[in-house]
Structure 1
Amino acid sequence: MALVPYEDTALWGLQKLHKSSSVYRFANHTIQITQNWKQLGVAAVVWDAAVVLCTFLEMGSIDLRGRLVIELGAGTGLLGIVAALLGAHVTITDRKAALDLLELNVQANLPADLQPRTTVKELTWGQGLAGFPPGAYDFILGADIVYLEETFADLLLTLEHLSSDHTVILLSCRLRYERDQKFLKMLQGRFSVHEVFYDPSNDVHIFKAQRNGWKGDL
Structure 2
Amino acid sequence: MALVPYGGGGVLPGLHSPAATYRFAGRPVRIEQSWAQLGVAAVVWDAALVLCAYLEAGNVDLCDRAVIELGAGTGLLGIVAALLGARVTVTDRAAALALLESNVRANLPPELQPRAAVKELTWGRDLGSFPPGAFDLVLGSDIVYLEETFADLLRTLEHLCAEHTVILLSCRIRYERDLDFLRMLRGRFSVHEVHYDPTKDVRIYKAQRGGRKDEI
In the TM superposition, residue 13 of structure 1 has moved relative to its aligned partner by 5.1
Quote the residue 1:217 is aligned against: 215
Please give the residue correspondences for 1:1-218 in structure 2 after superposition, counting only pairs within 5 Å. Answer: 14-218=12-216
Alignment partners' CA distance in 1, 2:28 and 2:115 = 19
Q: Secondary structure at the match of 2:211?
A: coil
Offset at residue 61 of structure 1 (A) = 1.9
SS of the equivalent of 2:162 reads coil
Moved over 6 A (4+): none
2:82 counterpart SS class: helix
Q: CA contact under 8 A between 1:5 and 1:42: conserved in structure 2?
A: no
Q: Deviations over 1:124-169 (max 9, x none)?
A: 0000201000000000000000001110000000000000000000
Relative to the length of structure 1, the TM-score reads 0.94
| CA shift in 2, pair 1:196/1:148, >3 Å | same
Q: 1:30 to 1:178 in 2, by over 3 A?
A: same
Contact kept? 2:164, 2:208, Cα under 8 Å: yes
2: CA distance between counterparts of 1:186 and 1:5? 21
How far apart, in 2, do the equivalents of 1:48 and 1:11 lie? 9
Deviates more, 1:201-210 or 1:38-47: 38-47
Give the Cα separation in 2 of the matches to 1:136 and 1:163.
Answer: 7
Contact 1:65/1:88, CA 8 A, preserved across alignment? yes
Q: Is the 2:9–2:200 contact (alpha carbons within 8 Å) kept by the matching residues of 1?
A: no
Q: Which amino acid aligns with 1:74?
A: A
Structure 1: 5+ residue runs without aligned partners? Answer: none
Kept in 2, the 8 Å contact 1:17–1:46? The answer is yes
Q: Partner of 2:167: helix, strand, or coil? A: strand
Residue 12 of structure 1 and its aligned partner are, at CA, apart by 7.8
Please, which runs of 5 or more residues in structure 2 have no aligned partner? none
Q: How far off its partner does 1:11 sit? A: 7.8
Instruction: Count the aligned residue pairs.
Output: 212
SS in 1 for 2:111: coil
Normalized against structure 2, the TM-score is what? 0.95
Identity %: 68
Read off the aligned partner of 2:136 and give its amino acid letter. D
What CA distance in whole angstroms lies between the structure 1 residues aligned with 2:42 and 2:213?
37
- Tell me how far 1:5 sits from its aligned partner: 6.2
Secondary structure of 1:196's counterpart equals: strand
How far 1:15 sits from its partner (Å)? 2.0
